[in-house]
Amino acid sequence: METLNNALFLWINASNPSDTALLLGRFLANGLIYLFPLYLALSWLRSDSPGREALLQAALSAAIAMLLSWAISKVWFHPRPFVIGLGHLYMPHKPTASFPSNHLSFAWSICAGLALHPVRRKAAWILALIALPVAWARIYMGVHFPLDMAGALLTGLVAAGFGLPLRGSLIPALRRLIEPVYRLVFAWPIRLGWVRA
């Protein structure tokens, strides 16, 4: 498995890329991930109760995924490609654990959490497709192995699975707790009809 992982990494990892390719790689590897929390925040402003509960489910899944990713890295530390001298590194990165990818664990756990709610399944698939170039870029730029991405997908799915039993209890309770604060903070835009109450 490690031989296949290394071979796939060397196939995807950039070799003598142009400045434009590196600029695109950096954006995809580090910038595109911000679309996921931005989607959650902006969607809240226009969502009804079921939609907001789906967003909270996704946020909970992401929190669980980050905890799982941290725990996995503590139990089994897998070095990054540049740490073992494999391939080329095109952006600075600390020599932290490679497996699973935190970026993709975060992204795909949001997708999996959204997919648990019918009102957000289409968005879940769109975001999952957006996550693919992030996964590719983090290999292309030399900070991750392909199996780190497979591990991230599994981490995201498991995290959403852990959050599933809370869909009918904690998630509605969280929404009821957050909405009064939201209505207080956003009272003026709500009155103007810019955002939903």
Q: What is the mean pLDDT of the chain?
A: 95
> Band of the pLDDT at 197, cuts 50, 70, 90?
confident
Count how many residues are written for the chain: 197
Q: Mean per-residue pLDDT for 65-81? A: 95
Tally Cβ neighbours within 10 Å of residue 104.
26
Please list the alpha-helical segments (H only) found in the chain.
2-12, 19-26, 35-46, 49-75, 102-115, 121-140, 146-163, 170-185, 187-191
DSSP state of 193: T
Residue with tokens 């992401």: 62
Question: Tens digit of pLDDT for each residue in 88-134?
Answer: 999 999 999 999 999 999 999 999 999 999 999 999 999 999 999 99
Q: Mean per-residue pLDDT for 133-144? A: 97
Q: How confident is the model at residue 188, as a pLDDT? A: 94
Q: How confident is the model at residue 153, as a pLDDT? A: 97
Q: Which residues contact 94 (CB under 8 A, 6 or more apart)?
A: none
Say if residue 1's pLDDT is above 90: no
CA distance 12 to 73: 24
Q: How confident is the model at residue 121, as a pLDDT? A: 94
pTM of the shown model: 0.93
3-state secondary structure at position 165: helix
| Closest-CA residue to 128 (of 106, 159, 101, 95) | 106
What share of the chain in percent tops pLDDT 90?
A: 94
76 φ/ψ sector (left φ>0, alpha ψ -120 to 50, else beta): beta
Question: Tens digit of pLDDT for each residue in 162-182?
Answer: 999 999 899 999 999 999 999
